[in-house]
């Protein structure tokens, strides 16, 4: 069957199609209804079925491949490598599950994971899935204020953390950040479980904080059975930036997610059990959930968990791992490739990469020079793909596991099975059916398995944010502009909202603005995303100071800029730090007071800012133009 027919069948006969895909995972009780879309947009998949994510990722492989590598934890920061077979992983996950149980965690309870890229983080995620607890992983680089907002929203019974993480040889102590976040949050966890790596000193809070090692020793031989979950139960929540500054908890189910990942490993990644998969993402992002932890393990593959930079100790580190562990499928981001592109190209020729069949890239738009450079260097297909935290797996790519098809530079590909992707007019909601018409990329319901169920604890926000933004139509908005060519390939042209993409990390400009506004010297601020050759986009802040005299002297301006950046560092983390803070006397606004962020962005990128007849004071934009061109 060709891919066009495969996709058509998934749309026209969804029950039959997804019932077939459901056979790729184990069920304790088979589903009685495949798709329940009685209450759109709240689609429920595999109703009546019971299964378990941990069983499908670990237990079911024990009989056939128990002694095969499952998790390969590598840290170029600490110079350590450890391989866990499926049998060893099974034992560690049970120990961790027993530890969580001792701390009071049961089915439906929340566990927040604030961890570096170490094996214990994966044990914790799988242990939660095993006992039916809902995990919420927060990126280890987040600062206390951001972490506190997530603790507040998730309401975890237990938080799992570590003494520190390391990046580029710089140790970040997690425990002080966590303690401050708990202090700031009105929700207090019952217990904190801590892995001590010996990287930074930790103060323990008596009665609340528990050390990993002694608790693990206590449960060395404890067995914990899988809790059979309803397919529609919640498996995890993961936070994504919103335009309001308040993070959205993307909520995922159990059964639909298991089936979606199993199907994607076969149809998209063309991956085989017994091979090795290497995703260079982080478990704090959805790519890490789907394609470091659950996807490869469900497929019976070994998966590499990597802590470190792509250029340390040198720019050959990733390729040395491909050679050593015979990686067949690799998943990374365009930013990482652009970083490697600046290094000595000899590193690409230094290692035996013959095991590698394809490199998949996602997280931000992929430019043609970068794609050509890495494709030529590796000698394998480079497959772009487009998706979101909300979708859980690719929306647009090439399904080479179904039919080998050529990619097109600049395009992530065609809609994946189960996704009814359309391009509509932003103002009228009318579908744009002619090639190369620019509009908003939307998805018609029912959304496929693995897609978000709702926003955690906020169904109304889910409907309002995602399903009500296109006039006259109830369709899911990706908030991305796009076009579709005559061959059906899609091209993504940037965001329609105020979320920017910095090196694959989604950041809400409002969040950064709120942080900067908290500095007493700031009267007003606008933050925009500006195109960057390495990171895709960087945040740029334009600040109106309360006292213009405070920035009259360049040395004073530089000092205030540093102080503002420090505030962002402390509240949101280094990942959200703007590349520059520039001081202006006023910001460009419409007569009704709306900030013209898009016009600011256009000026910063040397583009035409468009129709400015609504601008209240044109000199505001000229100030920014002068600053940029100076």
Alpha carbon distance 589, 569 (integer Å): 28
Q: Between 346 and 127, whose confidence is greater?
A: 127
Alpha carbon distance 125, 89 (integer Å): 12
Residue 402 pLDDT class (50, 70, 90 cuts): very high
What is the three-class DSSP state of 442?
Answer: strand
Cβ neighbours of residue 221 closer than 8 Å, sequence gap 6 or more: none
Q: Which residue blocks in 299-443 are alpha helix, DSSP H?
A: 317-325, 334-341, 346-349, 368-378
Alpha carbon distance 210, 207 (integer Å): 8
Of 137, 199, 192, which Cα lies nearest the Cα of 171? 199
Q: Which long-range contacts (CB under 8 A, 24 or more apart) does 523-532 make?
A: 524/587, 526/587, 526/595, 526/597, 526/600, 527/578, 528/500, 528/597, 528/598, 528/600, 528/601, 528/604, 529/495, 529/500, 529/501, 529/502, 529/601, 530/579, 530/601, 530/604, 530/605, 531/605, 532/579
Of 515, 564, 461, which Cα lies nearest the Cα of 148? 515
pLDDT > 60? residue 266: yes
Q: What is the pLDDT of residue 320?
A: 98
Q: Between 617 and 310, whose confidence is greater?
A: 310
Containing domain of residue 619, as a range?
503-629
Phi and psi, residue 540, nearest 5°? -125, 130
Indicate which CATH number applies to the domain containing 548.
3.30.300.30
Alpha carbon distance 568, 557 (integer Å): 17
Length of the chain counted residue by residue: 630
Q: Has residue 445 been placed in a domain?
A: no
pLDDT > 60? residue 591: no
Q: Has residue 518 been placed in a domain?
A: yes
Q: Has residue 512 been placed in a domain?
A: yes
Alpha carbon distance 123, 117 (integer Å): 11
Rg (CA), the chain: 24
Q: Which residue blocks in 155-254 are alpha helix, DSSP H?
A: 174-184, 212-218
- What's the Cα-to-Cα distance from 456 to each of 252, 510, 581, rounded to whole Å? 9, 21, 34
Alpha-carbon dihedral angle through residues 155, 158, 162, 166, given to the nearest 10 degrees: -30
pLDDT > 80? residue 207: yes
Q: Between 142 and 310, whose confidence is greater?
A: 310
pLDDT > 70? residue 592: no
Q: What is the pLDDT of residue 142?
A: 81
Q: How many domains does the chain have?
A: 1
Q: What is the pLDDT of residue 241?
A: 67
Alpha carbon distance 92, 115 (integer Å): 17
Q: Has residue 38 been placed in a domain?
A: no
Q: What is the pLDDT of residue 546?
A: 86
Cβ neighbours of residue 170 closer than 8 Å, sequence gap 6 or more: none
pLDDT > 60? residue 613: no
pLDDT > 60? residue 243: no
pLDDT > 80? residue 197: yes
Phi and psi, residue 472, nearest 5°? 75, 5
Reported as a single tens digit per residue, the pLDDT across 142-163 is 889 889 999 999 999 999 999 9
Q: Has residue 185 been placed in a domain?
A: no
Q: What is the pLDDT of residue 614?
A: 58
The 3-state secondary structure of 404-417, one letter per residue:
CCCCCCCCCEEECC
520 within 8 A of 561, measured Cβ to Cβ: no
Residue with tokens 């998805």: 443
The 3-state secondary structure of 492-554, one letter per residue:
EEEECCCEEEECCEEEEHHHHHHHHHCCCCEEEEEEEEEEECCCEEEEEEEEEECCHHHHCCH
Cβ neighbours of residue 125 closer than 8 Å, sequence gap 6 or more: 113, 135, 137, 236, 283, 289, 293
Alpha carbon distance 232, 469 (integer Å): 26
What tokens appear for 27 in the block?
A: 């069920």
Reported as a single tens digit per residue, the pLDDT across 87-99 is 999 999 999 999 9
pLDDT > 80? residue 611: no
pLDDT > 90? residue 593: no
State the average pLDDT for the chain. 93
Reported as a single tens digit per residue, the pLDDT across 10-53 is 999 999 999 999 999 999 999 999 999 999 999 999 999 999 99
Q: Stretch 555-582: mean pLDDT, rounded?
A: 92
Q: What is the pLDDT of residue 363?
A: 81
List of E strands, 179-268:
191-195, 209-211, 229-230, 234-240, 248-253
Q: Has residue 3 been placed in a domain?
A: no
317 within 8 A of 310, measured Cβ to Cβ: yes
Alpha carbon distance 210, 27 (integer Å): 35
Choose the weakest-confidence range: 2-16, 113-127, 195-209, 572-586: 572-586
Look up residue 291 and give its DSSP letter.
I
Q: Between 148 and 593, whose confidence is greater?
A: 148
What tokens appear for 606 in the block?
A: 């040397």
Q: Has residue 526 been placed in a domain?
A: yes
Q: Stretch 427-455: mean pLDDT, rounded?
A: 96
Q: What is the pLDDT of residue 504?
A: 74
Q: Has residue 534 been placed in a domain?
A: yes
Residue with tokens 């309401």: 155
pTM attached to this predicted model = 0.86
Cβ neighbours of residue 248 closer than 8 Å, sequence gap 6 or more: 239, 240, 241, 242, 455, 456, 458, 461, 465
């Amino acid at each position: 069957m060709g891919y066009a027919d495969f996709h058509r069948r998934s749309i026209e006969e969804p029950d039959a199609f997804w019932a077939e895909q459901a056979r790729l995972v184990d069920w304790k009780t088979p589903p009685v209804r495949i798709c329940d879309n009685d209450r759109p947009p709240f689609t429920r998949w595999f109703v009546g079925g019971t299964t378990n994510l941990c069983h499908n990722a670990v237990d079911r492989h024990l009989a056939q491949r128990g002694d095969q590598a499952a998790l390969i934890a590598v840290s170029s920061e600490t110079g350590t490598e450890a391989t866990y077979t499926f049998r060893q992983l099974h034992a560690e996950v049970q120990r961790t599950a027993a530890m969580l149980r001792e701390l009071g965690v049961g089915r439906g309870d929340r566990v927040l994971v604030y961890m570096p890229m170490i094996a214990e983080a994966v044990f914790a995620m799988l242990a939660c899935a095993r006992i039916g607890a809902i995990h919420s992983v927060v990126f280890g680089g987040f600062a206390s204020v951001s972490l506190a907002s997530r603790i507040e929203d998730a309401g975890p019974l237990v938080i799992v953390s570590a003494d520190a993480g390391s990046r580029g040889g710089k140790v970040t102590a997690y425990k002080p950040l966590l303690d401050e976040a708990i202090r700031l949050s009105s929700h207090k966890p019952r217990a904190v479980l801590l892995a001590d790596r010996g990287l930074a000193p930790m103060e323990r809070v008596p009665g609340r904080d528990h050390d990993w090692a002694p608790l693990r020793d206590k449960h060395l031989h404890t067995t914990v059975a899988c809790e059979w979950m309803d397919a529609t139960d919640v498996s995890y929540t993961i936070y994504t930036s919103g335009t309001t500054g308040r993070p959205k908890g993307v909520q995922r189910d159990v059964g639909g997610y298991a089936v979606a990942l199993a199907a994607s490993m076969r149809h998209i990644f063309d991956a085989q059990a017994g091979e090795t998969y290497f995703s260079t993402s982080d478990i704090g992002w959805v790519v890490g959930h789907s394609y470091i932890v659950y996807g490869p393990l469900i497929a019976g593959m070994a998966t590499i968990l990597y802590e470190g930079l792509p250029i340390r100790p040198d720019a050959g580190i990733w390729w040395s791992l491909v050679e050593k562990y015979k990686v067949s499928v690799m998943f990374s981001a365009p930013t990482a490739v652009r970083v490697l592109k600046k290094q000595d190209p000899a590193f690409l020729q230094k290692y035996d990469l013959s095991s590698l069949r394809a490199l998949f890239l996602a997280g931000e738009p992929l430019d043609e020079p970068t794609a050509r450079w890495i494709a030529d260097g590796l000698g394998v297909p480079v497959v772009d793909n487009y998706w979101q935290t909300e979708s859980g797996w690719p929306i647009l790519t090439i399904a080479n596991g179904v039919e080998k098809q050529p990619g097109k530079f600049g395009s992530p590909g065609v809609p994946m099975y189960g996704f009814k992707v359309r391009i509509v007019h932003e103002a009228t909601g009318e579908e744009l059916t002619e090639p190369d018409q620019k509009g908003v990329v939307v998805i018609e319901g029912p959304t496929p398995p693995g897609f978000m169920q709702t926003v955690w604890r906020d169904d109304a926000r889910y409907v309002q944010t995602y399903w009500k933004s296109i006039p006259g139509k109830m369709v899911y908005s990706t908030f991305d502009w796009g076009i579709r060519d005559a061959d059906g390939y899609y091209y993504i042209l940037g965001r329609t909202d105020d979320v920017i993409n910095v090196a694959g990390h989604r950041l809400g400009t409002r969040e950064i603005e709120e942080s900067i506004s908290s500095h007493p010297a700031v009267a007003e601020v606008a933050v925009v995303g500006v195109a960057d050759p390495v990171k895709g986009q960087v945040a740029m802040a334009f600040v109106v100071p309360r006292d213009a005299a405070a920035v009259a002297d360049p040395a004073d301006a530089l000092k205030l800029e540093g102080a503002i950046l420090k505030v962002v560092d402390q509240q949101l983390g280094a990942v959200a730090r703007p590349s520059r803070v520039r001081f202006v006397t006023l910001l460009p606004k419409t007569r009704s007071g709306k900030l013209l962020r898009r016009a600011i962005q256009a000026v910063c990128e040397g583009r035409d800012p468009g129709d400015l007849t609504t601008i209240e004071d044109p000199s505001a934009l000229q100030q920014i133009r002068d600053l940029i061109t100076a």
